[in-house]
Chains A and B, each alone.
Chain A
């Protein structure tokens, strides 16, 4: 079965804005999935598109606002990741893309605690786990999984994303600066089914 594979990332920073656009080059490999999210100091009613395809919520992730979303089957090539919300905010927008993704499951979330942001995602071999950490002013550092992006709008808002292996349980952890208040959303990207026909003896 083809394992979920990381493709690309992009992020952008805005001040006193209600929308952000960033360009990302997306693979032409099959079964693409984008994980997109914002970190913002205020705002509500967040929504996303990647290449014009609407983002949808991930069950189990932070429900207070759509700060993390998935975009199934975004188009390939140079595409715009767009986020918009109500209420001018200082914000960061980040997007990561993957392929060989069948679906998502095991969405979860956890609040930061002290100087640690951590979320654990259940997965299987061949899957990939993803986190999106978002919050108020502060610095994010020392991610324990592979870095997608780490974006800070100075003292206003921050957001970061990492991806990890499908290893049963994968913990995505960051060190955050003192006073940072935020949430880590996590999700498992399920690998696509084996496309090869199985011999029946």
Chain B
């Protein structure tokens, strides 16, 4: 059963060129979907692509498995209505089974080719 959506900021601030890790965080219990979101506001003036990924642990961080990853272009993106796209994200399709619990952890990394200010948010539902 899905929970009331919850958002947790996993990282916010300046990323230097290269790979930066975030977490681990403990998602709210009962979540079946985890969406890893990056804020595009700071990407508007960049020229290099950005990639990010996440790992999931079901044993309080003892072991980890890949949760997924994505990449995106830099620059300002517009949607079909010419509105600025403010975020890029990926999320699982198959509901987590079992849902997250007190032993669930999420961590990840984000890789950039130039200094950028952004936020990584984990949305749970």
Contacts and interface: CB of A to CB of B under 8 A. Distances in A.
Interface of A: 10-23, 78, 80, 84, 88, 92, 149, 151
B76 to A, nearest CB: 11
A13 B71 contact: no
Contacts of A17: 70-72, 88-90
A21 B72 CA distance: 12
Contacts of A80: 66, 69
Interface centre among A18, A80, A149 (most CB of B within 10 A): A18
Given A16-B40, A16-B87, A21 B93 contact: no
Interface of A is mostly: strand
B85 interface: yes
B53 interface: yes
Interface in B7-65: 40, 49, 51, 53, 65
B87 A15 contact: yes
Nearest to B56: A23
B68 interface: yes
A88 B73 contact: yes
Q: Which A-B residue pairs are the 5 nearest by beta carbons?
A: A21-B69, A19-B71, A16-B88, A23-B66, A11-B93
Contacts of B92: 12-13
A16 B89 CA distance: 7
A18 B73 CA distance: 7
A14 B89 contact: yes
A20 B68 CA distance: 8
A22 B68 contact: yes
Contacts, number: 71
28 contacts: A10-B94, A11-B94, A13-B91, A13-B92, A13-B93, A14-B89, A14-B90, A14-B91, A15-B87, A15-B89, A15-B90, A16-B87, A17-B88, A17-B90, A18-B49, A19-B51, A20-B69, A20-B90, A21-B66, A21-B70, A23-B67, A78-B65, A80-B66, A88-B73, A88-B85, A88-B88, A149-B94, A151-B93
A149 B93 contact: yes
A23 B68 contact: yes
A85 to B, nearest CB: 10
B77 interface: yes
Residue among A14, A20, A84 with the most chain B CB within 10 A? A14
* Most chain B CB within a 10 A radius of its CB, from A10, A80, A88, A149: A88
A62 to B, nearest CB: 22
A151 B40 CA distance: 25
A74 to B, nearest CB: 16
Contacts of B89: 14-17
B101 to A, nearest CB: 21
Contacts of B53: 21
B85 to A, nearest CB: 5
